[in-house]
Structure 1
Amino acid sequence: MIDVLLIDDHGLVRTGIRMLLEGTGDFNVVAEAADGEEGIRLARQLAPDLVICDLHLPGMSGLEVTERLVRAKAGQKVMIVTMQEEGPLPRRLLHAGALGYVAKACAHEEFLRAAREVAQGRRYLSAEIAQRLALEPPGAEQSPFDLLSPRELEVVKMLCQGKRGADIAETLHLSPKTVSTHKQRLLDKLGVEDVVTLSRLASQHGIVA
């Protein structure tokens, strides 16, 4: 039996994953967490075999959760599930130590196959993600967006979608002041002065369509 910890801020998603996993008879979901801090605490307390974690969480991101769990050397295998298949994050998560990266839109069979592979210590990527990484041009790792934190990348995407600071703050469960700070920092890191230039740069590097 494979003991699993689920980390996702949507209760309905956690319920669906739990039912899918436990319906096989191979997995036992030992706990659920709605954010990264709680997830790390439960991982340390319960020592599950497998941690299935959403990439985008309130507060600490899935990348940060992965880095902290891997750094702790407690032996948990990490599989990331996400709606985001593009941009630099898949590569960064693999470098951080995640063994699996699958899209939430994948078929149930693929999700279970990924969970089993990762639990056995083998890497698994959704076919679309694996193909995208394989087709990345040489030097893709030099993208200026690699300088950004996962939270800053989220803010980039929303800014490029034309969302206002207040809307971004509400979506990410942050204060408007924090969003404004993220915005200024990411503009400084990327060396751009406004959202129009930011959108052009993001499009050039595949961050947004």
Structure 2
Amino acid sequence: MNTSIVIADDHPLMLRGLTDFLTSRGFNIVGSAQDGSSAYNLIVKLKPEIAVLDIQMPNRTGLEVAEAVFKNNLNTKVILITFDKEEELFRQAKAFNVYGYILKEFAVEEIETCIEHALNNRPYFSEEIASLLSVSDLDNKPEGLNLLTKAEFKIIKLIAQNKTSQEIADELCVSIKTIHKHRSHIVSKLQLDNKPASLSIWANVNKYHF
């Protein structure tokens, strides 16, 4: 597998546990840190494919590292792990286009699946995190959703199911070029950025509106 990964967590047991588990699963742990500043320096220096970061760390939080990775257009895909179940933290993470957001209590069960999703430009969020979205928020449809055509709406529902463009094309019996064209139109209507995972992240976070 040899996927390069940096792991950061200020809890030594959690750091060691994740490192040992992912190493046993064939991943290449190229660096580890116990604070956010060290983690970010490792990301800049080693350019790992994946960074698994605890949200609450000294010197720099996992969210702050994710923000720096996002704003500096680094290619490392960030996965955040946390004990917190606060909706606001999740929304901040979403704004920085993280590829994963999982609860520590499910980390061992979900981290490998999350990494595999990230490597395929498909974000992964713990189901329990998604369920934290408030009822009041669910009542307010995201801006731009009403601008989608029936075909685009069907496609975004399939994207929310973590299906690839090729899988969607096969299911709808159209060409991959048609799906790419629809995706481009959807991104424009929803006013998303052009990063590969932006639409998938948006669809996963807002799938309760579909």
Normalising by the residue count of structure 2, what TM-score does the alignment of the two structures yield? 0.62
1:164-183 to 2 correspondences below 5 Å: none
Note closer, same or farther for the CA distance 1:136–1:57 as it changes in structure 2 (3 Å cut).
farther
Q: Which residue of 2 aligns with 1:206?
A: none
Q: Which residue of 2 aligns with 1:75?
A: 75
Q: Percent identity?
A: 30
**1:16 to 2:1 alignment:** no
Secondary structure of the structure 2 residue equivalent to 1:132: coil
Normalising by the residue count of structure 1, what TM-score does the alignment of the two structures yield? 0.62
Note closer, same or farther for the CA distance 1:134–1:120 as it changes in structure 2 (3 Å cut).
farther
Q: CA deviation at 1:110?
A: 1.8
CA contact (8 A) 1:91 1:133 kept: no
CA contact (8 A) 2:7 2:51 kept: yes
Gaps of 5+ in 2: 143-210
Q: Which amino acid aligns with 1:78?
A: V
In 2, Cα distance between the equivalents of 1:136 and 1:52?
A: 31
In 2, Cα distance between the equivalents of 1:14 and 1:69?
A: 21
Q: Which amino acid aligns with 2:37?
A: E
Which consecutive segments of 4 or more residues in structure 1 shift more than 3 A?
A: none
Q: Report the number of matched residues.
A: 140
CA contact (8 A) 2:53 2:80 kept: yes
The alignment's C-alpha RMSD in Å is 2.0
1:156-195 to 2 correspondences below 5 Å: none
Q: Which residue of 2 aligns with 1:5?
A: 6
Q: Which residue of 1 aligns with 2:106?
A: 106
Q: Which residue of 1 aligns with 2:59?
A: 59
In 1, Cα distance between the equivalents of 2:75 and 2:125?
A: 20
Q: Which amino acid aligns with 1:8?
A: D
Secondary structure of the structure 1 residue equivalent to 2:25: coil
In 2, Cα distance between the equivalents of 1:96 and 1:89?
A: 11
Q: CA deviation at 1:118?
A: 1.8
In 2, Cα distance between the equivalents of 1:80 and 1:4?
A: 13
Q: Which residue of 2 aligns with 1:115?
A: 115
In 2, Cα distance between the equivalents of 1:63 and 1:43?
A: 14
In 1, Cα distance between the equivalents of 2:78 and 2:84?
A: 17
